[in-house]
Amino acid sequence: MAKPTLKPGDVVDGFAIGPLLHNGGMARLWSVTRPDIDFPVLMKVPRIDEGDDPAAIVSFEMEQMILPKLSGPHVPRFVANGDFATQPYIVMERIDGASLHPWLETLPRADDEVASLGAGVADALDAIHRQSVVHLDLKPSNIMFRPSGEAVLIDYGLACHIHMPDLMAEEFRLPYGTAPYMAPEQVIGRRTDFRSDLFALGVLLYFFATGIRPFGDPQRLSGLRKRLWRDPWPPRALRPGLSPALQEVILQCLEVKPDWRYQTAAQLANDLRDLSHVKRTARAERLKRDPWTEVIRRRFNPEPLGLHRPAVVAGQYADAPIVLVAIDLDTTSPELAAALRLATGRVVEKSPQARIACLNVQRINRISLDTTLDEKGHNKHVTRLVQLKDWARPIGGAEGAITYHVVEAIEPARAILDFARANKVDHIVMGARQSSALRTLIGSVAGEVAANAPCTVTVVRNRYAALLPTEAKLSRDQMDI
């Protein structure tokens, strides 16, 4: 049978128990060693003492199921676990980097620090969401940073894997989480929405930008439920110097209805990395909370913002992909440009919330110096941005859904791949080189991208370019995709 407590010097399945590192409300963390493990590890043991919360056991079972399914730099490496019939434990990598705890002593922080922190945490959320896991307990104490800089999310006891049984939901009716950070849908028992983690990140960004928690720290369910109808003070009302763009991002994360928030962590990370590209709405300039008439209307609405509807989480990334369209402005024919537009437009039709990134690689010389102006004295970078916008204008799409990027590189394929990896691109659309002689001579950029891309690649080839001089004559069966 399992021991209610361990002590230094005990040996469990070959793991030598060292000092107690943390004595939490639901589990204890012990430093452990084993001769065949050459990196720091710790053992997590659930609290099963007399009077301990039974939720600690269920929570521990959840973490035992979920942690082995996760991989990558944004989660602790799983090593081993033990059964409740003998000794329940999880042995995992011990993260020796910095935690967020010291930040709490020096709030509020500057906009660039808050945005950089948020982008790193959003990257970590994106990593676990793509592995079908919603964390549901994002807070400063559950975020650490490796010495190399990556954010690491720890403690998956309240998490939900959308393809595995949710024991917490099955066995408990009250919501579990950390009160200041819980999303409205989490408060009413919905645990399968990735966007709940984006709400929690919005709370954290608000807290670190202003020094104040947007919804306080309620201790009762009635206090938790207030966030379904009562909006927080806009951050700029508390800290007037805050960037309107950062307020826009924070308040979008804190929208009550998940459909009004960012749809993926990858999109949130992109905005936080470059606040100058954030599409501003009335949220950016707000300095007051909603009037009481609006609050009362929401309070007594029998269907509060549609939160009773089941979440469609498995398709959220499919519904809001980041699509990179790589366009060669120098050699692409009008017919192929039209075919690229048609292919991109089809993506927008199927996924109205898609983010389209139009990219042009301005090739630079390997040895000789390049100039920034063309023969007419126009800035090359600006000219290409204008050309990208002209190319994309017929696509349409929601305002702010298309962004434009010109990068300089010696090797276009590598630049496209680097952009795709850095921005969590889900789909690359690009044209095939039209001259077979050129493909033979210098190789295919599209082929190299397709062979090495971290995502889906669509290569558009207009077989009938010579016969179809106008965009109006193009149809789907005339594209080789």
pLDDT in tens, the chain (481 residues): 455 578 999 999 999 999 999 888 788 999 999 999 999 999 999 887 766 677 788 889 899 999 999 999 999 999 999 988 888 999 999 998 888 888 899 999 999 999 999 999 999 999 999 999 999 999 999 999 999 999 999 999 999 999 888 888 877 777 889 999 999 999 998 999 999 999 999 999 999 999 999 999 998 999 999 999 999 999 999 999 999 999 999 999 999 999 999 999 999 999 999 999 899 999 999 999 999 998 898 888 755 545 444 444 555 666 778 899 999 888 878 888 888 888 888 877 777 778 888 889 988 876 656 676 767 776 777 788 788 888 888 887 666 678 888 888 888 999 999 888 888 888 999 988 665 554 544 457 888 898 899 898 988 886 544 433 333 333 333 333 3
User: What is the layout of strands, in order, in the sheet containing 41-46?
Assistant: 11-12, 15-23, 27-33, 41-46, 89-93, 78-82
Main-chain phi, psi angles of 146, to 5 degrees? -70, 160
d(CA 337, CA 391): 8
From the list 137, 155, 197, 271, the catalytic residue is 137
- Domain locations in the chain as residue ranges: 11-93, 109-316, 321-480
Two tokens at 189?
Answer: 């028992």
- The DSSP code for 259 is G
Amino acid, single-letter form, for residue 218: P
d(CA 163, CA 228): 28
Q: Give first-to-last CA distance, the chain, whole Å.
A: 61
Residue 76: count of CB within 10 angstroms of its CB:
22
12: exposed, middle or buried (Cβ count in 10 Å: 0-12, 13-18, 19+) = buried
Non-local (6+) Cβ contacts of 392 within 8 A are 325, 341, 344, 356, 358, 402, 404
Nearest to 428 by CA among 366, 481, 470, 375: 481
Amino acid, single-letter form, for residue 473: K
Under CATH, which number does the domain 321-480 receive? 3.40.50.620
d(CA 269, CA 400): 16
Under CATH, which number does the domain 11-93 receive? 3.30.200.20
Positive or negative torsion for Cα 48, 52, 58, 64: negative
137 a catalytic residue? yes
Give me the pLDDT at residue 469, please. 38
Q: What superfamily in CATH does domain 109-316 come from?
A: Transferase(Phosphotransferase) domain 1 (1.10.510.10)
- The DSSP code for 468 is -
d(CA 357, CA 342): 15
* C-alpha torsion angle, residues 335, 338, 344, 348 (rounded to 10): -160
Two tokens at 465?
Answer: 């370019």
Non-local (6+) Cβ contacts of 383 within 8 A are 374
d(CA 154, CA 143): 6
Count CA atoms within 13 Å of residue 165 on its CB side: 9
Query: Can you tell me which residue has the tokens 């044209």?
Result: 431
CB 319 within 8 A of CB 293: no
Give me the pLDDT at residue 232, please. 96
Positive or negative torsion for Cα 43, 47, 48, 50: positive
Which is it for strands 151-153 and 41-46: parallel, antiparallel or unpaired?
A: unpaired
Give me the pLDDT at residue 369, please. 60
Residue 100: count of CB within 10 angstroms of its CB:
18
Give me the pLDDT at residue 280, please. 94
